[in-house]
Each structure stands twice: as C-alpha cells, then as structure tokens.
Chains A and B, each alone.
Chain A
Amino acid sequence: MAGKEYRTITDVKGPLVFLNKTEPVAFGEIVELRLNDGSMKNGQVLDTSDDMVVVQVFEGTAGVDRTTGVKFLGDVFKLPVSKDLIGRILDGAGRPRDGGPEIIAEGNADIIGAAINPYARQSPHDFIQTGISAIDCCTTLVRGQKLPIFSASGLPHNDIALQIARQAKLTASDEEFIVVFCAMGITAEEYNFFRSDLERTGALENAVLFVNLADDPAVERLITPRLALTAAEYLAFEQDYHVLVIYTDVTNYCDALRQIGAAREEVPGRRGYPGYMYTDLAMLYERAGLVKGKKGSITQFPILTMPGDDITHPIPDLSGYITEGQIVISRELHGSGIYPPINVLPSLSRLMGGTIGEKTTREDHKCVSDQMYAAYAQGRELRGLVAIVGEDALNERDKQLLSFSGLFEDKFLRQDRYEDRSIDETLDLCWNLMSNIETKYLVRLDQQWIDKYHPNDKKE
C-alpha cells in the first residue's frame, strides 16, 4: 500500500486534512503530502474509517488544495536513534538543523512511547545537587524525578534552567548528565540564549537539541517533546546515560493541543483545552524515572509559564497533579531584585522526604529545611500584620521572625547565576541565618543537631 498516492482530499480545516475513501489506513500512520509546487509536508492519521481519513499536518496546511497528493507510509511515527544523536541539533520533526549529516540509525523507536510498568520501576533516591540553595535545601531534586518550573512571562526561568543544566551533579558519584533540550514554540532569541550558553560552557557536546520555534508549525509541537523523550529513553535505557530533559514551554504545547482539538470540533474541557489533556500531559511527564536492571535514568525539568500568573490555570494545575512537585517562580521576588526568585512556600519536591538525610545530603537536612520553611512562612505572614499595626506592636519572637524573612530572601535565596553552592555550604548558611532567632523559638530543630551545628553552640 505504501507508494500509492491519493488525490481524494475533500476538506481542509486548520491543520487537518480530510480524505475520502482509501485503502485501510492505520490509526497513527505517518503521511506524506506532495503539494503542486513539489514541496513536501508530513502528517499523521488522527481518525480512520472505511469512508474517511483525518490527517493532522505537522507543517500546517498552507498551500494544500484538493489536488494535493497524499501518501500513507504504512508505519507509525518513529525516530531513528543512535548514540550519534549526542551533540546534534534537530528540528521539531527530528531532521538535522545544524547542517550535519542525517542520523545513521542503530534502531527506530516508536515516538508515542509505552508506559513503564510500575512494577518494573525503581524508586528514585539519589540526590542531585543543583548548587542553588533554595532548590537543594527546600525542594531537593532527585534523579529520576519530574520537577517542573512554574513560571510566568517576564521571569528568569530560562536562567534557572540553564544554571541547573550547568551545575547539576550527583554527590554520590562523578557520573555526568546528558542534556536533552526540547524547545516548543519559544522565540529564536530564547533559543539562541540557550544554545550559546550550552555552547560556551561546552555542554553542547553532551546535549541533544530538538527545536521547534515560535514561527515553526504549531502542530509540529505535538511531536517535538515525544521525539526528545524517545531520544532520552534510548540514551537512558539502552545506552546507560543519565539524562536530564529540559523542555520549554509546556504552555505552547498545550495551546497546540487545543488548536487541534478545536479544528476537530471536539467537546472542549476547561478554558477550551481538550478533556484528554491530563492523559496527554501524563504521557510526557511519566516518561521519567529509573527502571530495575538498567543503569541510566531520565530526570525531567519541564518549564511552563502560567498564563496570568495563575497557578489554578488548567496547564499548571494538571501538571501539578502529575509531576512530583514544582518550583514556583515569584514575580514579587523578581521585582525586589532577587535571583533566583524562587518562592519556596508553594514549591514542593515530593521525592525529597525519601531522599535527604545522612546517606545522601546531611543528617540535619530534614529538620533544617522544615525550620527554615516554617520560620520564613511565619515571617512572611507577619509582614501583612506589620503593614496594619506597625512593627512595634509585635512581640519579641515575631520581631525576630520578621527580620529573618528578610535575611532568608537576601542571603539564602539570592545567589549569583554562576554561584555553585555545595549542600554543606547551603546547610551551614541556613544555620548561620537561623542563629538570628533565639533557639527557644526554633522548635523544629532537634537538640542533637543544635549542639552539633548551631554557630553559637557548636562544640569544636
């Protein structure tokens, strides 16, 4: 059947092409369209029946008419995988973008990706040190985790992602990460920023880039992350690499999903996004983790911008239900000139509890992190009260907590874009800052760690 070209297009609507009766075509089959001017486009079957086939065209339908030839290639979408992917830059559909040769495939992998059997998974427990105090102390990243950055337009999420890509290391071993970077609908300027940074630090040689820019077809965005994750799975589970997947911006991906849904006249869910968006996002996010009997791992670092800074918007909301925590970037902190402007209060790492401690980070990590968090939360709350009643109305404890919240932001959160703090440095810094509060108010600290680490009590 491959090879036969149909000229039976009846309707073209947005990114979708409708064809009349053909030979039986498989669901998900890859399609090639030949336009009258000889140019080619690619697509995929979304709906197939004896009478009608619906094809989603990745490059958009500009120039398609009823005489366009349509060829079904007899297979579902596959990515040629090979170790040679490392160091390459590919476009959003997996073709070389760096002027280099075609990838010589060692195998072809189905890009949809099968679900990992939960029984075959291995629980992630290895601490990744990012060198950023706020993350290492309060929302610890774990190898095999999927931890998104919830940001918003105009905030420095890209700097944070790059800093993590530069600095991420395992303290337990000297194994390095391979970065798989996936751009979905970001601007050329943002892409150049990522690329030049990776190039400058030499990380590009150990990275694979999949790039779909803002002016590339929106529909292509639906396959770009799948290509990136397929490459990541190959490198992790066939080639034993530890892979860090950064993809940005999930919001653009979801908008593309909505666009297809609308073109298919599907019943929309919240805010016009399709009802299956949860499942669809899960099919990306769940492709992270460790499996029994394989050395490699996939850690995901998706970036999404919350429309209108709204964390209850369907995109961050559904993501938060799937991912293992989130790092929330705050416009308020950014406005006060603090980098990285991470608001630790709504941020969370679900895998932190099972990871931190004597064997991986340090014995006092848990209680230090709890105490820092609690004291900062209380201090922040007091700011609201002070605005009404004035600082003089506070009691001694509250005054100390209030001043601590300022120190927390200024000394603990704030750090340079190239400052790489070890976990010991981070925790020692915490003790130094907490020493500004009288010990009797630090109820979450264990006495044994106070004796050992508190700067005033420290027994040398």
Chain B
Amino acid sequence: MSENGQIYRISGPVVTAIGLDAKMYDVVRVGDEGLMGEVIELHGEKAVIQVYEDTSGVRPGEPVINTGLTLAVQLGPGLLTQIYDGIQRPLPVMQEKMGTFITRGVDADGLDQERKWTFEPVAKKGDKVEGGQTIGTVQETETIAHKIMIPPKMSGTIKSIKGGDFTVSETVCTLDDGTEIAMMQKWPVRTPRPYMQKYAPDTPLVTGMRILDFLFPLAKGGAAGIPGPFGSGKTVTQQSLAKYSDAQIVVYIGCGERGNEMTEVLDEFPHLIDPNTGKPLMNRTVMIANTSNMPVAAREASVYTGITIAEYFRDMGYDVALMADSTSRWAEAMREISSRLEEMPGEEGYPAYLSSRLAEFYERAGRVETLEGEDGSVTVIGAVSPPGGDISEPVSQGTLRIVKVFWGLDAPLARQRHFPAINWLNSYSLYPQSLDQWFKDNIAADFPEIRTEISSLLQVEAELQEIVQLVGSDALPIDQQLTLEVARMIREYFLQQNAFHEIDAYTGVEQQYLMAKAILTFQTEAKNAIEAGGLLEDVVNVPARSDLMRARFEGDYLTRIEGLVAEMTKEIAAAAEEN
C-alpha cells in the first residue's frame, strides 16, 4: 500500500482503485488528467472513489494519487459576490481557463490568491487568543466586514500581528509557538464547525412575504422545507427569500437545477438593492451552482460546501440564510452513487441512510453562541421537488420530520395564478410560540390574536366552499356570504403577492399587520352595516375598499393605510344609511 494506487475499475462516476493507502473521505486525483475524487468506501485493498468530473476515456491502470486531505473549502475574504461550482471552484475562473464549456482536470482555488485585502488588526501583541476569536477585520464588501478569526482548535499568545494589505495566504499574525495565521483557513465540508452552544430561536427571519411572515413565520436559526411540484414557484420563492429576507449573509445553492436560472440570478442580483441596507444584494451573497448536467458527485458535495461557508459567516456573529434549491436533486445524487456502489436500497431506490443525511444537514442550522461568545445563526430553507407533487415520497417525508416550518406549494393555486402558491391550509410553522414575544414587543400587542383571526377565517372559508360547490353561494345566509367576501379579500389582497412588482414584492411586518387589521376592520364595519339594514352588495362594493386593496402597489402605503381605512369605514356606513 502506498499513497499512489492504480485504477482497477470505472463505472460512470464511481472508480475503484487498488493499492491505495487511503482513509475514508480522502480527496484523491484520478487518472492521467488528475480528476478530483473522494474515497467513499474501502473494501480490503480496494478503495471506491466518487469522481467529481466526467470519467469518459479514463482507463484501468492509470494512477490514483492520494492527497491525504479531506474535501475542504477555503474560507476567507473573497467568498462574497462569488459564484462557485459544487466543489468551490469559481465559475468565472473556470470560464477563463476552459472557455464556455466545463471540461476536466482543471483545478482552481476557491479564494483569489493574488488579490490583496486591507487587514485591520483588533487584537494586539501579547493578547491570549483562542479558536474562533477575532484578530482583525477586512472590509470585504461595502456592507460586510469580514472578521478574521483564529481557526478552531488553535490557541496561544500573539507574538506579532500587523495591519496592511495582504493576500489571503500571507501571514498576518504569529503566535508564540510559531504558528503562522493567514486570513484564509480551510475546513472539511462534511464536519460541522464548532460553537459554544445552541440557543432556542426567538427572532423571526423577516422575508417581506406576507403569507410567510404573518401566518407561517420562520425563526432565525430555524429550518424550513418548501416542497412543490414543478411550475408551482419553488425557485421564485427561494429567489425572493434570497433577495428580501433580513439575513446579513445569503448563501444560495443551485443544486442540480437549470443553468439559465443561475444565469438569471447572476444577471439580476448585482442590479437589485437590498431593502435592509440600500446596497446591491450581491454584496452579501455567495452562490453555488451545480446545474443538473454538471457532474453528479459534485452535486452531492455542493450542499456541504454551501453550509460550511454559511457556518463560517455564522461564526463571525452574522445571521446567515442558506437556500438549497433543490434538496431532492441532492438526494438523487446520493441515490445515483449508492446504486453504482450496489448498496442495498431503501425506499424508492434511495439509500437507507437518506433520512439520516437529511437530518445531519438540517441540524447544521441553528442559532448559536459562537466560540467568541457572539450570537450568530444559520437558517436553512430547503426546496424539495417531490415526483408528481406527491409529498409521501422519502425526501419530502425525511425533510418534514426535521424541519419546523413547512411551506407547501400547491399546483392548483399556481394554476389559478395565485402566487406565492403556498397552501394556507396545509402549511405550518411551529415557531409562533417562541416568536410571539418578538411580534408583541416590536409590532403590536395583539399581533398573535390578529393572526389567529385571519387563519381561522381562511379555515371557515374552506368549509363554506364545500357547500358552495354544491348549492352556489346565493343559497348561503348573508353573514356567511360576508365571510366568503372577507376571506376572498384575505386571499387576493393579503396572501397574493407579486414577486416581480417593484413595491408589492416586499412588505414589512408592520405593514402586514396593518393590512390584516384593515381586513378585519372591513369585516366588523360591514357586519354592523348589514345589521343596520345595508345590502351586502352595496356594502362590499364600496369604492374605498378597492382603493385600499389597489394602493398596496403604490408607494407610501404604510402612511396612507390609516386614511384609506377611515375612508372605507365612512363609505360602508353611508351604504347602510342609503336604505
């Protein structure tokens, strides 16, 4: 056995080597072209390797070289605004090196090794430092200060530290035991980065999407699953979250999805403004794109690459949101590799370890006390693409067992062009209890009650609709007809939101609350007016109600809403008096 072995067998992305002295998950270079691979199984003297590049043309007998390292990412300044493939090769660099198409055997550093960054020390000579402690900062983008931290598990006293312009591999700090610390550190992707302890989440991740923030809120540090059939708007929802959520850092993983979609994100994001900072969104974003036709093993790795980068920013004390679109493609990559390994399959051909891998991944989300004692979080939002939209399949079920928020996308709603097509009847969030205090303190004391009223109205509507299907709405008593009107208002005015409309795409929580309240005001006033003898038709058709609804597409809504509601109240009262 030696560090170098030979190829024994090749079957698609799975290569078997003999004579290789390897540990599990060692990264190896396969064949004359040095294709990158990872050891995933050991059988006696044979090592099974998954290769991250196409293996056509590779022959038995070609060399395999063990690097002795596990699959790791480079962490440091230069991550933000970058777009990577599944194994952290920057796509712009790959285009420079190989042109339009992705060919093989090209290696590229995750971080630019030439570029100089201005390092400003915050620690000084003689300071005792431990793993995770900040020793200095780099202003990486306009909005994000990148903290340079002592790598975990390292500690000592600073012998020297200097500010100035450095590349990521140059030493900026030396410890008394001679350890040299550069701005770049490496971390194996399959190992979660350490922290002090996990906290219960207590702050919502504000997304600006009314149905999410108001009815099914997600906490910073929580995990959510978005299952939905094709065409139901998973990607649009994920992209809206990447654009408008109030995370400080966004990691967006395009895992086994369409090439053109990633291109669209690349074209669009630099021109979009972050509503929370007023600066381009790209400044806080890291993208990972392993499209459906890129090598499947690299797709398997892409979610780990992404979450490791997310954890790294969490360790600086940032709130990070990670979107994975789609985790089903990741699961399929596991299935493909598992079947090449001739493993005994579990449900629907997926490997038996599918649900534990899903759980391990989602468990890397959380709100933590960092090694330095700061508060940081990773929120994970995973899209799931269930075959035929049927969520009884293993990936959806494995996901739902772990996540606390379920945003169920629905084909019939999408077909009615009700967007976001999130079904309000079967979606859920288990966070309201832990978040209600935040809503009470920051928005309004009766926020939880208003939410309950809105959701129960929708529930009642669903029951009434069943009757309407049979007998028509005219056969219902007036008060129930009014309930249907109010519920329609909730659906069309509140739940529906145009992700592509300049103003409607983002609604702050306070405005959401006022909109919900306006609907309930309408209900109360209309009920009173009808009891006073008004006709349902006159009452619900007051022009001020349409004005109220339409005005959400115009600016200054937050300041105008009060006036619009007052006007509506007046008109409803007038409509009652006419009779």
A-side interface residues toward B, CB under 8 Å? 24-29, 46-50, 75-76, 110, 112-124, 144-145, 237, 266-270, 274-276, 278-279, 282-283, 285-287, 289, 291-294, 311-314, 317-318, 320-322, 324-326, 345-346, 348, 351, 353-354, 370, 373-374, 377, 385, 388-389, 393-395
Contact = CB atoms under 8 A, between A and B. Distances in A.
Contact of A117 (B8, B101, B256, B342): B101
A254 B497 CA distance: 39
Contacts of A27: 10-12, 55-59
A39 B238 CA distance: 56
11 contacts: A25-B60, A50-B9, A120-B91, A144-B260, A267-B339, A286-B258, A321-B385, A322-B258, A325-B231, A354-B264, A374-B417
A229 B348 CA distance: 31
Interface stretch (B36-44, B243-251, B386-394): B386-394
A294 B100 contact: yes
B426 to A, nearest CB: 18
A351 B474 CA distance: 41
Contacts of A274: 339
Contact of A46 (B11, B293, B500): B11
A118 B348 contact: no
B349 A348 contact: no
B16 interface: yes
Which 6 residue pairs of A and B lie closest in terms of their CB atoms, listed nearest first? A312-B388, A49-B9, A282-B292, A28-B56, A119-B91, A114-B101
Interface residues of B, number: 69
A181 B544 CA distance: 58
A150 B141 CA distance: 46
Contacts of B559: none
B330 to A, nearest CB: 12
Contacts of A389: 471-472
Contact of A121 (B16, B61, B260): B260
A50 B8 contact: yes
A395 B259 contact: no
Given A270-B387, A279-B296, A279-B336, A47 B9 contact: yes
Contact of B292 (A25, A117, A279, A293): A279
Interface string B245-284: 0000000001010111011101100000000000000000
Nearest to B99: A120
SS class, residues of chain B in contact with chain A:
mixed
A377 B415 contact: yes
Nearest to A388: B470
Interface centre among B16, B56, B264, B470 (most CB of A within 10 A): B56
Interface in B292-336: 292-294, 296, 329, 332-333, 335-336
Contacts of B79: none
Interface centre among A326, A354, A370 (most CB of B within 10 A): A354
B94 interface: yes
A70 B98 CA distance: 35
Contacts of A326: 231
Interface string B33-71: 000000000000000000000111111111000000000
Given A28-B56, A48-B59, A268-B349, 9 more contacts: A49-B9, A50-B60, A115-B294, A118-B266, A123-B267, A267-B345, A279-B332, A312-B387, A312-B389
Nearest to B287: A118
B95 A119 contact: yes
Contacts of A370: 417
A320 B292 CA distance: 13
Contacts of A114: 54, 101-103
A282 B293 contact: yes
Contacts of A145: 260
A318 B332 CA distance: 12
Contact of A118 (B62, B289, B390): B289
B83 A118 contact: yes
B95 A117 contact: yes
B291 interface: yes
B102 A115 contact: yes
B349 A269 contact: yes
Contacts of A353: 500
B57 A279 contact: no
Contacts of A373: 417
Nearest to B471: A389
A373 B415 CA distance: 9
B413 to A, nearest CB: 11
B101 A115 contact: yes
Contact of A385 (B293, B390, B472): B472
A102 to B, nearest CB: 25
B459 to A, nearest CB: 22
Contacts of A374: 416-417
Given A27-B58, A123-B267, A291 B293 contact: no
Contacts of B55: 27-28
Contacts of B289: 118-119
B27 to A, nearest CB: 21
Contacts of A322: 258, 292
A28 B58 CA distance: 8
B557 interface: no
A49 B291 contact: no
Interface in B1-48: 8-12, 16
A353 B233 CA distance: 13
A120 B95 contact: yes
Contacts of B102: 114-117
Nearest to B265: A118
B356 interface: no
A345 B229 CA distance: 15
B550 to A, nearest CB: 9
B504 to A, nearest CB: 14
B417 A112 contact: no
B533 interface: no
A235 to B, nearest CB: 15
B361 interface: no
A389 B468 CA distance: 11
A275 B60 CA distance: 26
B92 interface: yes
B336 A115 contact: no
A386 to B, nearest CB: 10
Contacts of A324: 258, 260
Given A24-B60, A48-B59, A269 B94 contact: no
Interface string B214-234: 000000000000000111000
A291 B100 contact: yes
B165 to A, nearest CB: 28
Contact of A26 (B57, B98, B389): B57
Interface in B364-385: 385
B58 A26 contact: yes
B579 interface: no
A278 B332 contact: yes
Contact of A48 (B9, B54, B94, B387): B9
